Structure 1
Amino acid sequence: MRSLVAAVAAALVLSACQDPAGVGLGLIDEEQLDPNVRTVLLTDVAPTADTTVAIGIASDRDPALIQSRVLVGRVQDPVFGDARSVAYVDFVRLAELPDDAEAADVTAAWLVLERSYTYGDTTTTLPLELRPVQGSWTANTGYPADTLFATGDLLATTDVAPADTSARFDLPASWVAANAATLLSDTFGDDFEGFGIDVPAGFTPSPGAVVGFDTFASTGSGLRVVVAGDTVAYALSEVFSSIAVTPAPGTTPNVLPARVGSESVVRFNADFGTVGPAALARARLSLPLDLSLTREGSFVRPVPSRSFLVGVRTVDGEERRFPLSDNVVFDGGELTVFDTGRLTAEVQQVLLDPGSAFERYELVPLRGAASLDILPILLSGAPDDRAPRFTLTVVGASG
């Protein structure tokens, strides 16, 4: 059936290309009243529960497990819901040790983390505590997103001020002496379980903030150990952001309260039946955002810089997701799919064969860096009455 539909589509496109109405389609402003443009409003726009865990490896050697950021802090957010994150970091020794190094040669150690992200009040000074992880853990996506690991006694503290670009924890001499042999051991990666980083138990956010730290060694983050006068770098390896959120209270009725780390997948549908069988030159998806929510005074809520679009249909009794575009970007107040051809081909298929329609579509922010980014999609009330929509440019229109 799909091959027959494809043949029909090719014939339609060929005939349309011979029609003057199809000339210069790349110059058509899709938001104007042009006879070649059809607007299909999205329906059933809603967030779905996020099941992705912000755990992985601070390395690009395994793209499926990349985690280039960890989060820590607490924030009160009356619009999108409160959030809490605890960071866990483990290490691998990449640099060579000085020749014949012994435990007595280990004289100091500190953890440095380069800051790259803030969600919440940018005037907050965030107090942080460093504790050793007790028990083993791995980059296992089977953990619930809000899993907390057992930690030991307080090792070090630091305050992250608004202007600080990094955080540093100086480990006490007693810890350095007790762990010197482990730090030098050939089995360090197996013997050492890393640290947990959290705000103090008595910290009350008002409204507070969650900050993010880069995890890749190239950014400067890592454990530093002084051995026989030389500073040896230990890179972050396994990293985990335990994230717990409260439901969004829904104080903005015209805005979808979706946030990465709580409800990061946005689902929706579209009825292309109003367009009918037509030759399609281009399909475009636009989701207007309420930019007023990205910053309110000193309170900031980042927006994902990139997402991807999938279509969902049931095949042999199993729900499957089909990639439609990995080119969903934040562009001038909207999330926009700049079509790479795949989306247009799939929508063309639906126009000619309505039975091939997806059961729904999903918009998923790009993974690989833990965040609390928001997707404040305007459901109605945009300044120019725009709404979440597909814009279809057809060829051979009669007007």
Structure 2
Amino acid sequence: MTISASSAVAASRALTRLVRDDRGRLLSALVARLKDFQLAEDALQDAMVSAVVHWGRNGLPSSPSGWLLQVAFRKAIDRIRRQATAGRSGQDLELFASLAGEEALDIPDERLRLIFTCCHPAIEPKSQVALTLRTLGGLSTQQIAAAFLDKDAAMGQRLSRAKAKIAAAGIPFSVPDQDQWAERLEAVLTVIYLIFNAGYSAGPQSGVDLAEEALFLCRLLNSLTPEDAEVEGCLALLMLSHARRHARKGPSGAAVPLALQDRTLWVRAEIAEGVLLLERALRRRQIGPFQIKAAIAACHSDGETSDWPQIARLYDELLAFEPTAVVRLNRGVAVAEAGDLAGGLAAVLALETELSAYQPFHAACAELLKRAGRHHDAVRSYERAIAMAASEEDRLFLSSSLELLLQQQAV
């Protein structure tokens, strides 16, 4: 039987939807049984290739996910048999064969274990991000490489090393025990937050909206860990920040800082949903850093202006959880915005040694120095911030700000 063009297109579209919705669930189910991260991914990829042919010829099965899981098990067995050095025992093959013969209509949801495996502390942070996007987001190696301005081969090697590390180090495919839960969950949330920030700092380099990917992952995590205040706080933070997306860039393509954004462009329904989620998290009285960051985002989103005094107080609270130079920088800016320009500027300038390689530090210095009338110092800070800008949008905004300052000096 030949495959018609329309059938092939329909099969391809169905597979695309399934990869987006169920790839993480299928892969986690395979990893849980095969105990081999790379084998599971290779087998699932083989099954997806077969699906395009079989579904195009015979139509969609009653359970596309179940069909893929069964075929993936068979593909895994085929791979093991072809690899004489795989070290698999006959018992392993018998077990896999029995799994492949099972009805796979009810696929257990092992994605929470997959998330914690991808974000294990033994794996380098950038590899945690890449592996999470590859396995749970379903992005290709090429898409991830483009999003992080890496070469395809380099990103492929990074992913391969991470999977090999999981196998060699015996990293368990498991949810951490209660005594490790908070620490490991914070690492998972940090990975999701890094993905979100990358979406705005680097831009859509690969046609992939990393901010949307982070929201997808955080919603998934929230569904898998209901009633966890920090997960709710992280999701609220992402929603409140993402609601401002239409106002982040001006007509010229330059970034628009929050204080200058047209608030009528903010998606108020998403802000309201984020605030409700934050309020639910806070009622659990298990305060953590992501809830505080979400509260800061809410202070920016309520009304026509940001509540800077309250934001400064929230940064004081955040310092108890994250006593970092970056948090102190943000607190200093908030203090200045709240009316104490001298105090805020002094706090920011005191961080020069620690944050000399951090571009937002120089951008903050430039703005506060300009307000303080220290125009010569402000020019130097603008020049350093422009040279270190990670995106064209930021570079355009800072360049226009510098040009305006120079024009004022020339008058």
Fold shared by both chains (TM-score > 0.5)? no
Q: TM-score, normalised by structure 1?
A: 0.21
Query: TM-score when scaled to structure 2?
Result: 0.21
Structure with more relative contact order (C-alpha pairs < 8 Å, separation 6 or more): 1
More helix as a share of residues? 2
